[in-house]
Amino acid sequence: MEPTSSVVTEPKSPAEGRAPQSQSPPSQPAPDSEARYRRRAALLGSPRAKWAFIFAALVIAVAAFFLWRYLGSYESTDDAQIDGHVNSVSARVSGHVIKLNVEDNQYVEQGTVLVEIDPADYEVAVAKARAEYADAQAQASAAGINVPITDVSTSSQVSGAESGVSGAQAAIEAARQQFDAAKSQVAEADANNTKAQNDLQRYKLLIDKEEISQMQYDQAVDSAQAAAAALQAARANADAYAAQIKQAQSKLEQANADLRNAGNRTHTMRVIQARSQSAQAITEQKKAELDQAELNLQYTKIIAPVSGAVSNRTVEVGQNVQPGQVMMMIIPLDEKNIWVTANFKETQLSKMKPGQPAEIQVDATGKTYKGHVDSIAGASGERFSLLPPENATGNYVKVVQRIPMKIVFDPGEIKGHELRPGMSVVPKVWIK
């Protein structure tokens, strides 16, 4: 009997166990995977599924189209902030602050008294200016009264002097005419006297010869004496008229002197009028000084130029202030003085223009406000910088520039004064 042999099978390692499997042909899909594959194939092959896929694609295309239209209907930027006016409140006169009526961040109305300066010195200045103005008025009134009086007196003197000159000239002319007539009478009397004396000489010869009577000779003597007396009287009359001419010439000289004196009085009148005008000018100057003093007294009460919030207050009670010294700022918060400065890229401005509606989303409040484009700046922001770029020097790198745009709020959008200059906003301008 052959001995029975036993075979012992050694265990194989996992690597050895897997090696044959790697060389075996690929296995068939599991039954559940095959089922899913068949169901998918059946679903894709179904007409209803095809229509569903087509409908879904159309919906996605329409949604994409409207999304593209929506995204292309506006321009937006986050480089924007609230902007507004900042009104400085400064002193117009120097003095000691005695009262402060506002605090930081307090809202004040236009015309509210903010600060009061000690008015004592300015009240004294007003009283002094008022007294000087009254004195100037009195002097001007006195100078004005002398003008018409002097005018009348000067006019009368000029008229009288002119009349005196005319009268003296007329008297000279009359005296000359009378003198000429007197000289004619002297010549006539002289001729008569010469004839009478010659006749007397002839009669004397005849009387000595007794050729004429004594009566005729006596008549000749009387005629000669009468002719001599008439000549003497005519000469005396002519001398009298000559004296009248000299007297009339003296009067004419006096009248001319009076007329010249009256002319000097006209210059005096002009001087008096100039003094009156000077007094009136001094009065107006004193009135201006009084007005300035009253204005300075009013300036001791510093009032709010606009309605708004007080900010950056630097003045305190007891402080001495000087003209032009800024004491605080007032920020108007109404919709007329608040706007948005949005710095859009230049590539966004092709379809943007003033008047387009806008929506402003404010980060601080979380609200969205309505507005519209007011204007576009005339240059990019870099042109207003302290050191604008010079593209003609060095290497040039093109950088998209930003253009400031002003967007204002629509009426009624800002009611609670909640917006402040400097707040970050995101404006959205509708271009379609």
Q: By the 8 A CB rule, do 315 and 321 touch?
A: yes
Reading the block at residue 24, the tokens are 């075996």
pLDDT band at 148 (very low <50, low <70, confident <90, very high): low
At residue 114, the 3 state secondary structure works out as strand
Question: What average pLDDT score do residues 422-430 get?
Answer: 94
Structure confidence by residue, pLDDT tens digits, 358-417: 999 999 999 999 999 999 998 988 888 777 777 776 677 788 889 999 999 999 888 888
Judged against a pLDDT cut of 90, whether residue 128 lies above it is answered with: yes
Q: How does strand 308-311 pair with strand 95-100?
A: unpaired
pLDDT band of 146, cuts 50, 70, 90: low
The model's confidence at residue 200, banded by pLDDT at 50, 70 and 90, is confident
Q: Which residues contact 130 (CB under 8 A, 6 or more apart)?
A: 290
Mind listing the pLDDT tens digit for each residue in 245-263? 777 777 777 777 766 676 6
Distance CA 102, CA 304 (A): 10
Threshold 0.75, pTM exceeds: no
Tell me the percentage of the chain whose pLDDT exceeds 90: 40
C-alpha dihedral, 240 to 245 to 251 to 255, nearest 10°: 160
Mean confidence (pLDDT) of the chain: 80
Which residues in 298-309 are b (16+ Cβ under 10 Å) and which e? ebbebebebbbb
Collect all residues with Cβ–Cβ distance below 8 Å to 335 and sequence separation of at least 6.
Answer: 408, 409, 410, 411, 412, 413, 414
Cβ-defined contacts of 177-185 (< 8 Å, 24+): 178/241, 178/244, 179/238, 179/241, 179/242, 179/244, 179/245, 181/241, 182/234, 182/237, 182/238, 182/240, 182/241, 183/238, 185/234, 185/237, 185/238
Residues 65, 423: contact at Cβ < 8 Å? no
Architecture, CATH, for domain 121-298: Orthogonal Bundle (1.10)
Phi first, then psi: give them for residue 301, nearest 5 degrees.
-105, 110
Beginning with the edge strand found earlier in the chain, give each strand of the sheet holding 107-108 in spatial order: 87-90, 326-331, 308-311, 107-108
Looking at CATH, the fold of the domain delimited by 80-118+308-430 is given as: Elongation Factor Tu (Ef-tu); domain 3 (2.40.30)
What is the DSSP track for 2-65? PPPP--PPPPPPHHHHHHHHHHSPPPPPPHHHHHHHHHHHHHHH-HHHHHHHHHHHHHHHHHHH
- 237 closest CA partner among 172, 175, 186, 177: 186
Q: Answer whether residue 213 shows pLDDT above 90.
A: no
| 375, burial (CB in 10 Å: exposed 0-12, middle 13-18, buried 19+) | middle
Question: What are the structural domain ranges in the chain?
Answer: 80-118+308-430, 121-298
Burial class (CB in 10 A: 0-12, 13-18, 19+), 262: buried
